[in-house]
């Protein structure tokens, strides 16, 4: 990275809220996470959910990066709550675990393209997989559409050794 780029990203004038999050909020969150980890509440911070309390001004700075906060703090979920002082409360995250990204989230579902327990995916991963046209192991012929649970099953259907029921709801898909 060039010196000019380093200077740009280290300047609090360019990203004042982000600099504040890194220098002020991150140490508060990390201290609470480490306290809970030491107490045995969880092993990895990705299993934690945090609530950040602060003034309206402080929450506004955090709100600028709200969708990125879980990744910044390496936790499952971040909630922002108005409070008298800047502090953090940590708890064990609730919800299901996405089998692709391993995030714990409330929006885990079985998508019709990727059926079965091993494909429990969060909405973010479903969007990614659909946008990159990741193969959901769908076999099509002139009249039917078959969804397979894995690649082995797809090869068995393709070779004619196995048949599955057709899913009419996918026949209009690409």
Does one domain contain both 52 and 106? no
SS3 content of the chain, % helix, strand, coil (to 5): 45, 20, 40
Per the CB < 8 A criterion, the answer to whether 159 and 135 are in contact is no
Residue 17 belongs to a domain with what CATH number?
A: 3.30.2320.20
Q: What pLDDT digit, counting tens, does each position of 11-68 carry?
A: 556 678 888 898 999 999 999 999 999 999 998 999 999 999 999 999 999 999 998 9
Domain coverage including residue 108: 95-135
Pair (54, 122) in one structural domain = no
As a whole number of angstroms, the longest Cα–Cα distance in the chain is: 67
Task: Read off the pLDDT band of 137 (50, 70, 90).
Answer: low
Assess whether 45 and 13 both reside in one domain: yes
Q: Answer yes or no: pTM beyond 0.75.
A: no
Contact 43, 66 (CB under 8 A): no
- Cβ atoms of residues 53 and 100 within 8 Å: no
- Domain shared by 26 and 79, yes or no: yes
Q: Is the same domain home to 111 and 146?
A: no
Same domain, 56 and 82: yes
Do 104 and 146 reside in the same domain of the chain?
no
């Amino acid at each position: 990275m060039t010196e000019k780029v380093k200077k740009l990203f280290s300047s609090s004038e360019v990203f004042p809220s982000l600099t504040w999050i890194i220098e002020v909020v991150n140490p508060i969150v990390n201290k609470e996470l480490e306290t809970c980890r030491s107490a045995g509440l969880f092993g990895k911070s990705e299993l934690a959910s945090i609530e950040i309390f602060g003034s309206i001004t402080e929450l506004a700075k955090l709100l600028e990066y709200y969708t990125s906060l879980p990744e910044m703090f390496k936790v499952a979920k971040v909630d922002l709550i108005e409070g008298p002082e800047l502090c953090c409360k940590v708890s064990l995250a609730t919800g299901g675990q996405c089998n692709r990204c391993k995030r714990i989230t409330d929006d885990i579902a079985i998508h019709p393209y990727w059926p079965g327990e091993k494909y429990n995916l969060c909405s973010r991963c479903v969007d990614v997989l659909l946008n990159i046209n990741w193969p959901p192991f769908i076999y099509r012929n002139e009249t039917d559409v078959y969804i397979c649970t894995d690649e082995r099953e797809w090869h068995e259907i393709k070779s004619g050794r196995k048949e599955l029921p057709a899913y009419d709801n996918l026949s209009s898909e690409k």
